[in-house]
Amino acid sequence: MTRRPDEPVPEAIALPIERSGSATSLLSEYFQLTALARGPWSPDAAHGGAPGALLVRAAELFGGDEMRLASLSCTFNGPVTLGEIGIEAEVSKPGRKQKVISERLVTGNRTLIDARAVLLRRGEVRLPSGVAEITPSMAPPEEGRSVESGVWAAGASLTFYGTANTIRMIEGGIDEVGPTGSGWFRLEYPVVPGETPTGAQRAAAAADFGNGLAHPVPFGEYIFVNCDLNLSLFREPAGDWIGVTSETSVDPIGAGLTVTALHDREGPFGAASQTLFVERSRDN
């Protein structure tokens, strides 16, 4: 897709504006959410994977090297607009084995995302033989097909799905209508400048693609935006590529559910779900 001359590519998905507090009990950070976060529904609104990755990052600041992100539950109270946002986070349940972080993504006086993250200690547990076996269950990204970056662009030159990520489709996908889909996603830009995205940040960024990957109703004729994002990781993902295998069910009451299995090259590492608001677009 041709980029407009007045829209240069930012160095990261979110640019820090100000930071205060510490990662001991309370954290408050402010960012400029750039065009690399742009989603498919509006040129001024973010794809859910961008704020999801930011919320994972904030939670991870409380874990250090001793703890890892095990889950993140986000409720979207409204569209996250590009521009200035704040991330507020605090420990609501301290502990050495389990720590719970309460988070908010705000803009002005509005809370756009309420989130809850669970951190677990990194440990070594001897398990019965064969219990922890992990084997690849998706074709590798090299066997996938590329997706035209402008398929969801709606006139925008920079997008989260078309610019910030490289996508390789295995089955179904963004440009095909159907209840199932699978593909690989690789985040090509840092979440914030100077930091390499962690595996959990990459997982959150990819997990929000589930309802776009598996959509039984056509994009453009219908809106099927997710109201939440729930992410659970039983191990830390490895490598740059995140595999997503999704299935979406919709009902005439105007709702749907996307259930997603998450993979890396070694095999599955977690799951995600999204509750969908479904309706016909105003032009149909």
CATH of the domain at 211: 2.40.160.210
Task: List the structure tokens of 120.
Answer: 């677990």
- Local confidence band at 28 (pLDDT 50, 70, 90 cut-offs): confident
Top-confidence residue, 106 or 6: 106
pTM of the model: 0.91
> How many domains, in total, are found in the chain?
1
Q: How far is CA 171 from CA 32, 178, 180, in A?
A: 35, 10, 8
Task: Say whether pLDDT at 46 is over 80.
Answer: yes
Q: How far apart are the first and last CA of the chain?
A: 27
Q: What number is the average pLDDT over the span 92-112? A: 95
Task: Say whether pLDDT at 1 is over 50.
Answer: no
Task: Say whether pLDDT at 122 is over 60.
Answer: yes
The answer as to whether 134 is a domain residue is no
CB atoms within 10 A of CB 126: 5
Rounded to the nearest 5 degrees, what angle is found at the Cα of 116, between the Cα atoms of 110 and 118? 160
| Spatial distance between the Cα atoms of 228 and 276, rounded to a whole number of angstroms | 8
The answer as to whether 129 is a domain residue is no
- Local confidence band at 156 (pLDDT 50, 70, 90 cut-offs): low
The answer as to whether 194 is a domain residue is yes
Most confident residue range from 4-8, 16-20, 276-280: 276-280
Residues present in the chain in total: 284
- Please report the pLDDT score of residue 129 as a whole number: 81
| Spatial distance between the Cα atoms of 27 and 19, rounded to a whole number of angstroms | 8
Q: How many Å separate Cα 32 from the centre of its chain?
A: 18
Range of the domain at 91: 14-122+140-280
Name the helix (H) or strand (E) containing 263.
Answer: strand 255-264
The answer as to whether 228 is a domain residue is yes
CB atoms within 10 A of CB 134: 12
The answer as to whether 114 is a domain residue is yes
The answer as to whether 219 is a domain residue is yes
The answer as to whether 67 is a domain residue is yes
The answer as to whether 6 is a domain residue is no
Task: List the structure tokens of 43.
Answer: 């040129």
Whether the CA torsion 243, 245, 250, 255 is positive or negative: it is negative
Name the helix (H) or strand (E) containing 204.
Answer: helix 199-207
Task: Say whether pLDDT at 21 is over 80.
Answer: no
Residue corresponding to tokens 């998905």: 13
